[in-house]
Amino acid sequence: MIKPYGSDTLNPLFVYDEKKRHDLIKEADRLPSLLINSAAAGNAVMLGAGYFNPLKGFMNKADTISVADKMCTTNGLFWPVPIVNLTQDSSGIKNAKRIALRDPNVEGNPVLAIQEVEAIEELKDEQQEFITQKIFRTTDPGHIGASNFLSQGKILVSGPIQVLNFSYFPQEFPDTFRTAVEIRTEIQERGWDKVVAFQTRNPMHRAHEELCKIAKDAVKADGVLIHMLLGQLKAGDIPAPVRDASIRKMVELYFPPNTVMITGYGFDMLYAGPREALLHAIFRQNAGSSHFIIGRDHAGVGDYYGAFDAQAIFDEIPTGALQIEIFRADHTAYSKKLNKVVMMRDVPDHGKDDFVLLSGTKVREMLSAGKDLPPEFSRPEVAKILMGYYQSQAGQS
């Protein structure tokens, strides 16, 4: 199996020793605490789950600026997006050496992790804007990712962490949430060697299904890791439980047995386009995937990125920085001429009218109105699940 990123073995920051974890939970009651934001909570979950190997915790100001600027830490580790604990108010942890990080996404704000405080530093306005511009290629408040980042605060709390739980993800998604450790174990148990990973924050229609099959065949993979984001999204995106149900139905009916793992990870969407694509590749390597599908407008939002910028950025990183290989996918759609799903670049003789193409808006309108989607676009069993969701939303409005 492929090695984790940056080390020979995976080093998750979750405290697996039960006695040690119990002692740390007791210690946390006596420590100054910080109610962190959702983005920092997601970072803690990803660090705990081994997805952000080999990082040991939250980055300081120098590393944050270096990663934003040059895509590497001050000690030369390639890394595309700063992993930070930003806050608007650090008065409650002044002079503290160890602090309890409290979860904003769980009722009662239980302790999520304990952090050793190495530094508390404030970003200047121009530094915050510089970092935002580098990560998102814009500081436009209309960009949901840039807006979220700018709202988190300017105070960086850096240092290593010990993670005590995985927030709400194991409870809300018991069949789907998996750590990088668990995914590697299951890949090994299945006897897979080559694994192609597919990122999704949306339901999967025929084009996505066939893209996974095309990529699996092209790289001669043993299986596909469908790895869905389970954290917070922007308004209008389909909730994780609905996506989960529709993907499971699709895999159950339309993939051969023992060729797909359906899993999810606990992280909020950044909408950082190319930079986020690189981060996605790192944590898929940590989860044991040898290949990763990067498609059109990967991790994008609006018109902030070019259609294939998330593929092009892989040509800009240091040679050998990542072991995982990228499968560069084109826009995929059903060909009326060939009666099958194809990548558009593979059929230069086709015009727009030769494909079954529906915009996201049109899909939502049809499902809300109880109209069936074309079977060439979506499997009927998947469309039925989505229709139920959209009609329930329409009934509430």
Each residue of 49-79: pLDDT tens digit? Answer: 999 999 999 999 999 999 999 999 999 999 9
d(CA 212, CA 251): 11
Q: Angle 290-39-197 (CA atoms, 0-180°, nearest 5)?
A: 15
The yes-or-no verdict on residue 235 having pLDDT over 80 is no
Average pLDDT over residues 224-234: 91
How does residue 394 score in pLDDT terms, banded at 50, 70 and 90? low
The residues annotated as belonging to the active site are 201-202
Please state whether the peptide bond connecting residue 54 to the residue before it is cis, i.e. omega within 30 degrees of 0: yes
Q: For the segment 113-140, what is each residue's pLDDT rounded down to a tens digit? A: 999 999 999 999 999 999 999 999 999 9
The predicted pLDDT at position 121 comes to 98
The yes-or-no verdict on residue 213 having pLDDT over 70 is yes
User: Across the chain, what does the average pLDDT equal?
Assistant: 95
Check if the beta carbon of residue 85 is closer than 8 Å to that of residue 101.
yes
How does residue 309 score in pLDDT terms, banded at 50, 70 and 90? very high
Average pLDDT over residues 278-306: 96
How does residue 395 score in pLDDT terms, banded at 50, 70 and 90? low
HEC letters along the chain: CCCCCCCCCCCCCECCCHHHHHHHHHHHCCCCEEECCHHHHHHHHHHHCCCCCCCCEECCHHHHHHHHHHCECCCCCECCCCCCCEECCCHHHCCCCEEEEECCCCCCCCEEEEEECCEEEECCHHHHHHHHHHHHCCCCCCCHHHHHHHCCCCEEEEEEEEECCCCCHHHHCCCCECCHHHHHHHHHHHCCCCEEEEEECCCCCHHHHHHHHHHHHHHCCCEEEEEEECCCCCCCCCCHHHHHHHHHHHHHHHCCCCCEEEEEECCCCCCCHHHHHHHHHHHHHHCCCCEEEECCCCCCCCCCCCCCHHHHHHHCCCCCCCCCEEEECCCEEEECCCCEEEEHHHCCCCCHHHEECCCHHHHHHHHHCCCCCCCCCCCHHHHHHHHHHHHHHHHHC
- Model pTM score: 0.95
- What is the set of domains in the chain, with CATH numbers? 18-170 (3.10.400.10), 174-396 (3.40.50.620)
The percentage of residues in the chain with a pLDDT greater than 70, rounded to a whole number, is 99
The yes-or-no verdict on residue 361 having pLDDT over 80 is no
- Range scoring the smallest mean pLDDT among 77-91, 184-198, 212-226, 326-340: 326-340
The predicted pLDDT at position 397 comes to 56
